[in-house]
Amino acid sequence: MNEMAVLTASDFKSDTKPIWCPGCGDFSVLTALTKALAELARPREQIALISGIGCSSRIPAYTRVYGLHGVHGRALAVAAGVKLANPELTVIAAGGDGDGLSIGGNHFLHACRRNVDMTYVLMDNQVYGMTKGQASPTTAPEWCESKLTPHGTGVSPVAPLHLALASGVNFFARGFAGKPNELAALILAGIAHPGFSVIHVLSPCVTFRPEQRGWKSVVHASDAPPASDPAEALARYAGDDGFTTGILYQADRAPFLPAHSSDMTAEDFAAGFAVRGGEMAAVADRGQA
């Protein structure tokens, strides 16, 4: 690939037809993402989209950039590796609430604190959609439609904003799949932000959470500029209804970028793993003495 022509959002969609259920919020996330990529105006070969497993994690297959539909819960670890190996790339990770906050929860908090320059599109439908409707970490305790939790989970859900702030995130926005233009602007702002940016997307699962169709009448845009202090962000949003959209928090901690760069050779890389022969021999000698 070597393109100089101006690319449109459709140029960033692949020919693979999504197998999402009709009405799934993830269609609009795909629309928003491809619109954001068109506005970013980078060649396709300079963009990598990395996902985990889940309905939402299928998104790389439906785009025309470098992509990896990877391992459940590991999107952020892989994406960080891609970015650190080639810092010139625009790296985007994507996936669902189960992928990112259950099995991948550990990676999420460390991605927030490590602050590698990449963007995470977290599609939250408060359910495991792909495996047919189990409760996820963001499911309300009283939701009892799953056969696995007929009386609800009974435990407090994870609030992605609180978890991210507690873990040191530097950029957190919330968007709604039903407003793809606004979501595209948030994704673009996240990509422009130096460091790790989280775009928390309320993306309805119309099959297992049909009541989420009602989200369109409850989302509301923040009327405040982004908070730049975690305590201020928590004071504003910890007790709200969870449907405030916009850039909710933005700070300016420097991104993590180790001294190495993309011009590192394979020999340089191998040298980093070399067993230090002299020292090891000395340790072995001491052991025999």
Ligand X SMILES: Cc1ncc(C[n+]2csc(CCOP(=O)(O)OP(=O)(O)O)c2C)c(N)n1
CB of 267 to ligand SF4, least distance (A): 46
Reported as type and span, the H/E element at residue 135 is none
Contact region with ligand X (CB under 6 A), list: 30-38, 49-57, 74-82, 280-288 = 49-57
Of Mg ion, ligand SF4, ligand X, none, which one does residue 104 interact with (CB within 5 to 8 Å by kind)?
none
Q: Which residue intervals of 41-125 are DSSP H helices? A: 75-85, 97-98, 105-114
Q: Which does 24 bind (CB under 5 to 8 A by kind): ligand SF4, Mg ion, ligand X, none?
A: ligand SF4
Q: Alpha-carbon distance 157 to 136, whole Å? A: 8
Q: Does 25 bind ligand X (CB under 6 A)?
A: no
Pairing assessment for the beta strands 90-96 and 197-202 based on DSSP bridges: unpaired
The site string for Mg ion over 97-116 (x = CB under 5 A, - otherwise) reads: xx------------------
139: burial class by Cβ within 10 Å (0-12, 13-18, 19+)?
buried
Is there a contact between 7 and 44 (Cβ–Cβ < 8 Å)?
A: yes
Per CB under 6 A, which region of 35-43, 119-127, 142-150, 180-188 contacts ligand X? 119-127
Q: Which tokens hold the place of 159? A: 């609030």
User: CA 212 to CA 45: how far, in whole Å?
Assistant: 36
Q: Which partner from the list ligand SF4, ligand X, Mg ion, none does 106 bind, CB cut-off 5 to 8 Å by kind?
A: none
Q: Is 206 in the site for ligand SF4 (CB under 6 A)?
A: yes
Q: Would you tell me which residues interact with Mg ion (CB under 5 A)?
A: 96-98, 125, 129
